[in-house]
Structure formats: C-alpha cells, structure tokens
Amino acid sequence: MRDNDSATDLAPVALGGLGLAGLGVLVFSLSFPTTVFALEGLDPYLIGVGRSAAATVLAVIALAAVRARPPRPRQWAGLAVVGGGVIFGFPVLTTLALDHGASSAHAAVITGLLPATTAVFAVLRGGERPSRAFWAACTAGAALVTGFAVLRGAGGITGADLLLFGALLAAAAGYAEGGRLAREMPGWRVISWALVLVAPICVPVTLWLLATTGPRWTGHALFGFGYLAAMSAYLGFFAWYEGLARAGIARASQVQLAQPLLTLLWAGILLGELIDATTALAAVGVLVCVALTQRARVRNAPAAPGRTTRGNPGGRKKRGLARHDTPTHDGKESVTSP
C-alpha cells in the first residue's frame, strides 16, 4: 500500500497496521520512566548496552524456534543501520541524558519530534519530494523544541539536550530503515537479526560492565532493566515495525504523536514528576507541528518507485493488499495474504 494513498483507501491491512503501531507506541512510552527506575542501581552504559544484550537472548530463541533463514546479503547494511540507531544510539544516548539530569517529561518533549524526523529520513531514503508545507511544519517543530530546551537550560542548550538530539537522529534513522526492511521480511525478524548482528559487540561489553560497575539490583532497578530489555528493546518492535510495513511509514508514524503525552502521563504516575504548564504546552505544540508535517507528506509525497515488498521481490507494484511472509513448519517462508 502506497504511503500517499488517501484516507478513503484504508484497507483492513492498513487499519491493522495502525493498531500494531499504536501497541508499539504504548510499549515505548514507558521507556523513559523505566530507565529512571533502572538508574537507581545500574550504570547508564550498562543499561543502554545491556538491555540489547539481554534482548539478544530472546531474539536467538525466536529465530531458532522457526528456523529462520538469514537475511539476503544486501539486507545486512540496512540491519546495521537499525542496530546503530535503535540498539546502540537511542538507548545509550537517552540513558546518558536522563543520568545527566534530564527528567522523563523533558526527554519526552525533546524526542516528540521523532515522528517528523523519521519522516525526513524516509523521504531521503525513498527519494521523495515533500511539499513546502512539510518542511515549514518540520522547521516550526524544530524551533519549538530548541526554544523549550533553551528555556529549560537557563538560556542555553545543556549537555543532556545534545544527547537527546543525538538520540532523536539515531532513532529516526533506525525507524525509517527498519520500516523499509519490514516490507521485505516480517517486522519481528528485522529487530531480531539486528540484535544478532550487533551481539559480538554488546554482549562482551555488557559482561565487562557487569564485572566493573558494581550494579545494585534493587526492585526498581530490576524492574526497569527487565522492561527495557524485554519490551522496549525487543517485543515493542514486533508491533512497531510490522505496523510501519502494513500501514506505511508516513501513515503509521502519526500514531507516535501520542507517545510524548503518554510518557508525560507515566512520568507523573510512576515517578511523581510535576508536569508544569510550559512542558505541557511544549508537548502540545510539538504534537501540532508533527501532525501538520505528517498530513503534508501523506497528501503530497509520491510513492517511491521500484520499492521491494514482501511477496514481491522484484519490486514491481501490485494492486490490492500487500502480501506477507509467514514461517512454515519447516522453517521456510511462504507467502500468504494478511
């Protein structure tokens, strides 16, 4: 299904994709509060890298259970981008930002531009031509977030803000590339193979950090790390990447507009963080800017030519619903309608 289809063309597969994307957003919205929990007893680098090492165990079990075939040689480069973006970049940088004094609410507002930034990466990756309205809304959102960061930083950008901006770029690259790959293989395999790819780095580093940082496994630390490893680093991507593939990156990323507001809610409930008027207004402002960005792109951006989709390896466009690979009992992939 093309990203620039009209709203009247929403087929059941697209609606299901939006539901899956929403489930992924719900999982990810708890990442910042649970990271704060984990920081009560664990080193930030151990949290950022160790969550991926633990998730790798789950990935290996899942891939072995279906005897999944390895990705094609041309797909490994994309998986490396996913690994660098959502397995290393975003987790490590956001954890360091929270360790350097940023609150969950503050981090949620800064990363509220993630849907728009993801759309920018998708535009660059797919060679599309966005409208002026797209770039105007994106620029307004960036200015709003920068202004919020300066206001909170007593007139300047703090180190935590720079870390969050870096995390924003890393996640956007990983999301866009993962969404593209999820058109060629099931979404859960995208994150699984990306974890396997970076395992030779994150597993030894995690073991070294466990031996040298003196972790204190308090109840909060254990819960926070466990959630990040099982949900934020792995299971959340099952739904998220599959949602991007089914509904299209532009359309599905609109669901992520709710993530900053959900994170603000969790921060207030779980951490007792005070959500003042400035933070709330900034979050709503980012929400409006990103919504305008997504509407402009969906309406005006042409479909990327020659896109390869699951069940259509030659990249030829087909009418009707997209087709999805499903594992058979012998571990091979068959093509079925969703």
Q: How confident is the model at residue 121 (pLDDT cuts 50, 70, 90)?
A: confident
Buried b (16+ CB within 10 A) or exposed e, 197-215: bbbeebbebbeebeeeeeb
Please, how many CA atoms are within 13 Å of residue 10, restricted to the half-sphere of its CB?
12
Residues 159-178 have a mean pLDDT of 92
Are 112 and 260 in contact by the 8 Å Cβ rule? The answer is: yes
Are 66 and 326 in contact by the 8 Å Cβ rule? The answer is: no
Q: How confident is the model at residue 132 (pLDDT cuts 50, 70, 90)?
A: confident
Q: How confident is the model at residue 29 (pLDDT cuts 50, 70, 90)?
A: very high
Are 97 and 45 in contact by the 8 Å Cβ rule? The answer is: no
CA distance 106 to 275: 9
DSSP codes joined into one string, 107-159 = HHHHGGGHHHHHHHHHHHHHT----HHHHHHHHHHHHHHHHHHHHHTTSS--H
Q: Which of these ranges, 44-53, 81-90, 283-292, has the smallest mean pLDDT?
A: 283-292
Are 245 and 183 in contact by the 8 Å Cβ rule? The answer is: yes
Phi, psi of 307 (to 5 degrees): -75, 135
Residues 34-57 have a mean pLDDT of 96
Residue 19, Cβ neighbours under 10 Å: how many? Answer: 16
Looking at this protein, which amino acid is placed at residue 295?
R
Residues 69-96 have a mean pLDDT of 95
Q: Is the pLDDT of residue 274 over 60?
A: yes
Computed from CA positions of residues 146, 149, 153, 154, in that sequence, does the dihedral angle turn out positive or negative? positive
43 SS3 class:
coil
pLDDT of residue 24: 94
pLDDT of residue 156: 67
- Length of the chain counted residue by residue: 338
Q: How confident is the model at residue 273 (pLDDT cuts 50, 70, 90)?
A: confident
pLDDT of residue 295: 72
Q: Is the pLDDT of residue 46 over 60?
A: yes
Greater pLDDT, 48 or 291: 48
End-to-end CA distance of the chain: 13
Q: Which of these ranges, 31-40, 61-70, 284-293, 327-336, has the smallest mean pLDDT?
A: 327-336
What is the rounded average pLDDT for all residues in the chain? 81
Q: How confident is the model at residue 11 (pLDDT cuts 50, 70, 90)?
A: low
H-run or E-run covering 34: helix 31-38
Give the residue from 250, 249, 245 showing the smallest Cα distance to 322. 245
Q: How confident is the model at residue 39 (pLDDT cuts 50, 70, 90)?
A: very high
Greater pLDDT, 174 or 132: 174
Where is mean pLDDT largest: 156-160, 204-208, 246-250?
204-208
Q: How confident is the model at residue 1 (pLDDT cuts 50, 70, 90)?
A: very low
Model pLDDT for residues 92-120, shown as the tens digit of each residue:
999 999 999 888 888 888 887 888 888 78
Q: Is the pLDDT of residue 324 over 60?
A: no
pLDDT of residue 56: 97
pTM of the model: 0.78
Looking at this protein, which amino acid is placed at residue 216?
R
Are 262 and 22 in contact by the 8 Å Cβ rule? The answer is: no
Here the tokens at position 92 are 């490590």
pLDDT of residue 119: 77
Residues 140-166 have a mean pLDDT of 80
332 SS3 class:
coil
Placement of tokens 């930034």 in the chain: 117
Greater pLDDT, 254 or 189: 189
Model pLDDT for residues 280-318, shown as the tens digit of each residue:
888 888 878 877 876 765 443 444 444 455 544 444 444
